[in-house]
Amino acid sequence: MKILFILRGFVNGGVERRAVNLANEFAARGHIVEVAAFQGKCFPPVFETAENVSFYFSGDTVKPQPAYKAPAAKGDKNTKTAHTANPKKSKHGVKRIINIIKKRLPKSIKKKKILRNSYEKHNVRLMENYFSAAKPDVIITFKINLLPYVLSAAENKDFKVFFALTNAHQKMSLPLYSRKNGVFDLLKQTDGVIAQTKSEKEFYEKELNNVTVIHNPLKLGLPSAYVGEREKTIVSFCRIAPQKNLGLLVDAFELFHSQHPEYSLLIYGDTVDENEKEYLRKLLAKIGEKKLDNCVSVLPFCTDIHDKVRNCAMFVSSSDYEGLSNSMLEAMAIGLPCICTDCMGGGTREVMTDRENGLIVPMNDDEAMCRAMKEFAENPGLTGKCSLSAAKIREELSVEKIALQWLEVIEK
């Protein structure tokens, strides 16, 4: 089969990682696979990709900027907190022209639909031309705001369209559900909807009868689960974004560090837009204000992240909502003792049982998160048990098994 993964942009986040992991495995099984992006920023892929997986980006590819050193807190000349600078904004030609036109129009007609429709028609035409040339058998797409374009471009075409859910339904824009052409109406037009968790399936099944649960696959090549003495370092790796609630992690670590000053906290991640860049600035300011510069570092994402963190004391995810966190899955797979919030979307409870293969804490509760950190720091028996049990997920979510589940749905 020829399988196309259609994305909004390519920012090397969880959606892209999920798509590339599946693309690599499908290609290894002899299928022709391409990953395409039509809107938003597109960064060069940092994930390991098979030679026979191709990429198509309709807009300009953004080049990463060199790293910069974050400003020190007042009165502190030294800080080891660093981060990758936010890349320049992508200059999509049509979008730029539309914005220029909007600025020159009188306020009374700035909101006329013709501008929005011209941009929508342009995106549909791009996809129609791409689909006609690519001649796919199957399309797998992500992000609900991209689906209308995909369905329009796929009209009267002889291929299947599947939609992969990517986030907690509680965070979806509610008006989308009530509008005539809302989310449910769009999803009914697909050949199948893939949910990441059982709780998400239960929500969408109220209106749909084509929902299947398939968990995210683990990438190939993860280092083996670590067994041995651990460094006194707490780690988190994720996109630096408001949904990750990293301020909660810093607050919890401050409480924990007052009792265990020998520990440090490392946060690995990047930003992809101005909103996330501003969130990073506030996070760094918070670290400085709390005078935690010497024990808390925010570092750029790196391709060898799993080798760097596998012997850390614990992994902590402080998210408010997730679909099914790839970072959490990978941390479990390399045997890191994991503390995760019971976040919206149900992803944590989908794969984690409290005190068996990790510790689950309520959202927005820094004291509960601190207590969980103390449990792992002070109870080596519990830490070892959770580490060994967590690593069993390597077999359960191997990309080979997950790819077979996808193919079973596609070929049905």
Q: Are residues 171 and 265 in the same domain?
A: no
Q: Which of 3-12, 109-118, 236-245, 360-369 has the lowest mean pLDDT?
A: 109-118
Cα distance between residue 412 and residue 75, in whole Å: 65
Torsion angle of alpha carbons 116, 117, 120, 124, nearest 10°?
Answer: -170
Measured CA to CA in angstroms, residue 407 lies from 58, 157, 402 at distances of 27, 21, 9
Q: Are residues 258 and 133 in the same domain?
A: no
Read off the CATH number of the domain in which 312 is found. 3.40.50.2000
**pLDDT band at 49; cut points 50, 70, 90:** very high
87-111 pLDDT, tens digit each:
333 334 444 444 443 444 444 333 3
What residue numbers bound the domain in which 148 lies?
A: 2-65+117-217+398-411
Q: How much is the mean pLDDT over the chain?
A: 86
240 and 378 together in one domain:
yes
Residue 239 lies in a domain: yes
Is the domain of 33 the same as that of 130?
yes
**One domain for residues 7 and 141:** yes
| Residue 334 to residues 237, 344, 391, 393, Cα–Cα distance (Å) | 14, 25, 6, 9
Is pLDDT above 50 for 28? Answer: yes
Is position 37 within any domain? yes
Task: Write down the pTM of the prediction.
Answer: 0.84
Relative orientation angle of helices 14-28 and 326-333, to the nearest 10 degrees: 60
Q: Does one domain contain both 237 and 147?
A: no
**Are both 206 and 296 inside the same structural domain?**
no
Q: Is the pLDDT assigned to residue 253 strictly greater than 80? A: yes
Give pLDDT, residue 143: 87
The pLDDT-based confidence of 347 (bands split at 50, 70, 90) is: very high
Question: Are 314 and 270 found together in one domain?
Answer: yes
Whether 256 shows a pLDDT value over 70: the answer reads yes
pLDDT, one tens digit per residue, over 318-346 is: 999 998 999 999 999 999 999 999 999 99
Q: Report the domain count for the chain.
A: 2
Which of these ranges, 71-75, 263-267, 382-386, has the smallest mean pLDDT?
A: 71-75
> For the segment 195-240, what is each residue's pLDDT rounded down to a tens digit?
999 999 999 998 899 999 999 999 989 999 999 999 999 999 999 9
pLDDT of residue 172: 64
Q: Is 275 helix (H, G, I), strand (E, B) or coil?
A: helix
Q: Let me know: does 316 contact 249? Beta carbons within 8 Å.
A: yes
Assign 373 a pLDDT band (cuts: 50, 70, 90): very high
